[in-house]
């Protein structure tokens, strides 16, 4: 409810509720406590259930965000998901599941517009509520819906953990997400989570393991976006192997799947959207990164420019900053390979001025690639190139969200 609606519901002044909202630690006078008690007692069962869950979690861990740094928070959440094996039976209000679904959609859609740790905490809160409700339901349909939510939230947390540079937690969360997707019988979500596992593997320089995950995903992925996405991710794994022929082959195969996207709508891509979307821009950015890795500046620039054309055509409030910035950095790297340093410097400015809370491991890895080009491809002795390399080095050193080992080759 709004402040005004809640005040009317309780029969108190609007300014009273506004004061509670502004000062959440305030203790109401006894008479007002009685009004609140009565409101809770007469509330629907679903409201009481949500209140009990939130109250229990609040009293058990009132300040856990302040007790740990971001890496500890992420790792603890990953282990909690991995250890969540004992599922019990009880009844679960349908409206609670609907609420969790709506909150998951919000986290996915707001993923790229907020600092990673803020998004991670939101996703973890939804996951925790879903885990509690799993222990209270015996209806198979409710249980399946909760497994889907658990798969989605673990997938989102896995992506964010990677953005924060915590690869161990990301891998654990991605495995948990895949397990929940399997339990739910949700092939599209399972394909998405296997794609995440494949992505993490090629960033760890394990292309064979990556292709194993992707092959498993392709065997179950519905045709359309789920299948299309995995082929583009496979191009990145082949790039780590240095296999230019395989890159071209999987990208050609992906193009042949293009028409299936319109004929076969996908819930994750078309309804939830946000981080689960794999559109033309992400496909082009993926191909750009693959060609960049094998040193083909011309093809990399072509794909990166195509990605940026899509991103910049969006209204600014809908433009995802991380994918847009990543494609911009890759375009700068492609320009450097092709000898166009002035254009590269211009493109890098937006990334180098990003506030720390918006930096992530993917952007760090891409900037490390640019630094590698500057330092090792005949640019090192040029004063401007040296100054740019030092500036990138400073950015990397000042960035908390770095991978456990920055892979400068990806």
Residues 24-66 have pLDDT tens digits of 888 888 888 888 988 898 888 767 777 776 676 666 554 444 4
For all residues of the chain together, what is the average pLDDT? Answer: 85
Say if residue 295's pLDDT is above 60: yes
Burial letters 288-301, b for 16+ CB under 10 A, else e: bbbbbbbebbebbb
Higher pLDDT, 290 or 167: 290
Say if residue 18's pLDDT is above 90: no
3-state secondary structure 171-203: HHHHHHHHHHHHHHCCHHHHHHHHHHHHHHHHH
Higher pLDDT, 53 or 165: 165
Percent of the chain with pLDDT over 70: 88
Mean pLDDT lowest among 112-116, 378-382, 406-410: 406-410
Mean pLDDT lowest among 143-152, 224-233, 240-249, 376-385: 376-385
Say if residue 277's pLDDT is above 60: yes
Tell me what pLDDT residue 378 has: 61
Say if residue 294's pLDDT is above 90: yes
Say if residue 408's pLDDT is above 80: no
Higher pLDDT, 377 or 97: 97
Q: Give Cβ neighbours of residue 268 (< 8 Å, ≥ 6 apart).
A: 152, 188, 189, 192, 225, 226, 276, 277
Tell me what pLDDT residue 60 has: 58
Burial letters 66-95, b for 16+ CB under 10 A, else e: eeeebbebbbebbebbeebeeeeeeebbee
Mean pLDDT lowest among 118-132, 169-183, 297-311, 381-395: 381-395
As a whole number, mean pLDDT of residues 310-322 equals 84
Name the band, by pLDDT with cuts 50, 70 and 90, for residue 306: very high
Burial class (CB in 10 A: 0-12, 13-18, 19+), 12: middle
pLDDT tens profile 66-92: 445 677 777 777 767 765 533 333 355
Name the band, by pLDDT with cuts 50, 70 and 90, for residue 239: very high
pTM exceeding 0.75: no
Burial class (CB in 10 A: 0-12, 13-18, 19+), 125: middle
Say if residue 149's pLDDT is above 60: yes
Tell me what pLDDT residue 94 has: 63
Say if residue 380's pLDDT is above 70: no
Q: Give Cβ neighbours of residue 33 (< 8 Å, ≥ 6 apart).
A: none
Say if residue 135's pLDDT is above 90: no
* DSSP string of 245-293, one letter each residue: HHHHHHHHHHHHTTTHHHHS--IIIIII-GGG---HHHHHHHHHHHHHH
Contact 294, 244 (CB under 8 A): yes
pLDDT tens profile 210-220: 999 999 999 99
Contact 358, 115 (CB under 8 A): yes
Say if residue 120's pLDDT is above 60: yes
As a whole number, mean pLDDT of residues 240-248 equals 95
Mean pLDDT lowest among 25-29, 143-147, 184-188, 401-405: 401-405
């Amino acid at each position: 409810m709004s402040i005004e609606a809640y005040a009317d519901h309780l029969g108190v002044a609007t300014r009273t509720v506004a004061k509670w909202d502004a000062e959440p630690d305030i203790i109401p006078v006894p008479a007002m406590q009685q009004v609140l008690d009565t409101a809770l007692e007469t509330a629907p069962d679903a409201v009481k259930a949500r209140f009990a869950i939130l109250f229990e979690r609040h009293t058990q861990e009132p300040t856990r965000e302040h007790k740990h740094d971001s890496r500890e928070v992420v790792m603890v959440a990953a282990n909690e998901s991995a250890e969540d094996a004992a599922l019990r039976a009880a009844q679960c209000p349908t409206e609670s599941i609907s609420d969790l679904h709506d909150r998951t959609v919000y986290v996915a859609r707001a993923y790229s517009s907020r600092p990673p740790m803020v998004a991670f905490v939101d996703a973890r809160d939804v996951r925790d509520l879903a885990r509690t409700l799993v222990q209270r339901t015996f209806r198979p349909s409710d249980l399946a819906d909760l497994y889907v939510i658990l798969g989605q939230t673990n997938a989102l947390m896995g992506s964010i953990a990677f953005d924060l540079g915590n690869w161990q937690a990301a891998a654990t969360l991605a495995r948990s997400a895949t397990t929940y997707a399997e339990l739910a019988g949700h092939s599209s979500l399972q394909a998405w989570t296997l794609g995440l596992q494949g992505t993490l593997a090629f960033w760890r320089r394990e292309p064979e393991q990556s292709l194993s995950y992707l092959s498993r995903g392709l065997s179950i992925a519905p045709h359309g976006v789920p299948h299309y996405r995995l082929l583009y991710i496979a191009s990145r794994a082949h790039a780590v192997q240095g296999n230019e022929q395989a890159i071209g082959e999987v990208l050609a195969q992906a193009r042949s799947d293009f028409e299936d996207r319109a004929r076969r709508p996908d819930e994750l891509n078309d309804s939830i959207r946000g981080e689960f979307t794999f559109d033309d821009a992400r496909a082009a950015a993926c191909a750009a990164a693959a060609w960049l890795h094998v040193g083909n500046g011309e093809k990399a620039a072509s794909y990166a420019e195509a990605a940026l054309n899509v991103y910049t055509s969006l209204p600014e409030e809908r433009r995802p900053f991380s994918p847009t910035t990543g494609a911009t950095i890759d375009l700068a790297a492609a320009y450097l390979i092709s000898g166009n340093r002035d254009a590269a410097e211009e493109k890098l400015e937006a990334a180098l001025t990003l506030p720390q809370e918006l930096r992530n491991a993917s952007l760090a890895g891409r900037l490390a690639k640019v630094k590698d080009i500057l330092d090792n491809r005949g640019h090192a002795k040029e004063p401007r190139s040296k100054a740019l390399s030092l500036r990138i080095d400073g950015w990397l050193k000042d960035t908390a969200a770095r991978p456990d080992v920055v892979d400068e080759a990806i």
